[in-house]
Amino acid sequence: MYNHLLYLAYWTVNAIVLFLAGILVPGVKLGDGRFSSFEAAIYGGFWVTFCVWIWWDFAIARKFQFSQAVKFVVFFIVNSISILIISKFHFLTGFVLTNYIWALAIGIFATILQRMAWGIVVTKGS
């Protein structure tokens, strides 16, 4: 059951990160003619979470074993690439990244908050 809660927690964290990035980061534009900034953060957060979980399922299927430090770096890279991907599909998500270096900053912030969500959900789920 905690798997569903963990997905929801990651989605919430990613949506909050994208929403804050839209407010604080000059190279991020949230929303367009179809979506408000809030809707774009929710849709973008969903797709970032989806991309992260695709990688996660792949890593589990391949039985990858990482140390905590390596796992953090891998998820940082996956988050950053996911942010770049959803930015490329801005017509579907409403999330536009005008300066791609910001994907790294947003990716590190998302990874840190995802680790916190992991700790909260998994600890309470056990």
> Going residue by residue through the chain (126 aa), what tens digit of pLDDT does each one get?
568 899 999 999 999 999 999 999 998 999 888 899 999 999 999 999 999 999 999 998 999 898 989 999 999 999 999 999 999 999 889 999 998 899 999 999 999 999 999 999 988 766
Number of Cβ within 10 Å of residue 123's Cβ equals: 9
User: What's the number of domains the chain is made of?
Assistant: 1
Q: At 47, which amino acid appears?
A: W
For 90, phi and psi rounded to 5 degrees? -60, -25
Asked whether residue 125 is assigned to any structural domain, the reply reads no
Question: 3-class DSSP state for residue 64?
Answer: coil
Domain of residue 82 covers 2-120
Asked whether residue 56 is assigned to any structural domain, the reply reads yes
Q: How far apart are CA 25 and CA 6, in angstroms?
A: 27
Asked whether residue 126 is assigned to any structural domain, the reply reads no
Q: What are the DSSP calls for 86-105, one per residue?
A: HHHTHHHH-EEESSTTHHHH
Asked whether residue 27 is assigned to any structural domain, the reply reads yes
Q: Is 80 exposed, middle or buried (0-12, 13-18, 19+ CB in 10 A)?
A: buried
Contact call for residues 45 and 15 (beta carbons, < 8 A):
yes
Asked whether residue 31 is assigned to any structural domain, the reply reads yes
